[in-house]
Amino acid sequence: MTTSSWDLVVVGTGFGGSMVALVAARAGLRVLLIERGRWVDRDDSAWDPRRILIERKYRSPSAFETPRLGFGRGRTYPDESVGGKSVFYGAASMRLREGDFALRARYPGLCTDLVDWPIGYQDLAPYYDQAEQLLGVAGVAGGDPNEPPRTGPYLAAPPHFSAPARRVADAAAALGLHPFPIPLAINFTSKDARPSCTQCLTCDLFPCKICAKNDLAVTVLPLAIAAGATVLPDTLAVRLHRTGDRISGVECLNTVTGERPSISCRVCVVSAGAIPSPALLLASGLGAAGPGGEWIGRCLMRHCSGIVAGVFREQTNPERIFHKQVALTDFYFGAEHGSPPGPWGMIQGLQAPPPEYLSAEAGFPIGPLAARTLDHDIFLLCIGQDLPDPANRIEIDPGLLDPYGAPIPRVFHRYTRRDREARSALYREGTRILRQAGAVIRVRKPINTFSHALGSCRFGVDPARAALDPWCRLFGVPNLFVVDASFMPSSGGVNPSLTIAANGLRVGEHLVAEWNQLA
Is the per-residue pLDDT at 343 higher than 50? Answer: yes
Q: What pLDDT sits at residue 1?
A: 45
CB 174 within 8 A of CB 436: yes
226-235, 238-247, 340-349, 362-371: the lowest-pLDDT one: 362-371
CB 483 within 8 A of CB 501: no
Q: How far apart are CA 406 and CA 400, in angstroms?
A: 8
**H helix runs in 256-317, sequence order:** 276-283
> What is the arithmetic mean of pLDDT over 350-354?
89
> What is the arithmetic mean of pLDDT over 101-111?
94
Burial (CB count within 10 angstroms: exposed 0-12, middle 13-18, buried 19+), residue 107 = middle
Q: pLDDT band at residue 3, thresholds of 50, 70 and 90?
A: low
Amino acid at 49: P
pTM of this structure: 0.97
CB 30 within 8 A of CB 497: no
Q: What pLDDT sits at residue 444?
A: 93
> What is the arithmetic mean of pLDDT over 249-270?
96
CB 103 within 8 A of CB 114: yes
Is the per-residue pLDDT at 8 higher than 60? Answer: yes
Classify residue 445 by its DSSP letter.
Answer: E
CA nearest to 268, candidates 83, 464, 41, 518: 518
> What is the arithmetic mean of pLDDT over 385-389?
97
Q: pLDDT band at residue 2, thresholds of 50, 70 and 90?
A: very low
CA nearest to 386, candidates 471, 454, 486: 454
> What is the arithmetic mean of pLDDT over 187-213?
91
Is the per-residue pLDDT at 505 higher than 50? Answer: yes
In what helix (H) or strand (E) does residue 276 lie, and over which residues does it extend? helix 276-283
pLDDT digits (tens, 9 = 90+) for 442-461: 999 999 999 999 999 999 99
Sign of CA dihedral 392, 11, 250, 39: positive
Q: What pLDDT sits at residue 306?
A: 96
> Which backbone phi and psi does 81 adopt, to 5 degrees?
-170, 165
How much is the CA Rg of the chain, to the nearest whole Å?
Answer: 22
> What is the arithmetic mean of pLDDT over 289-307?
96
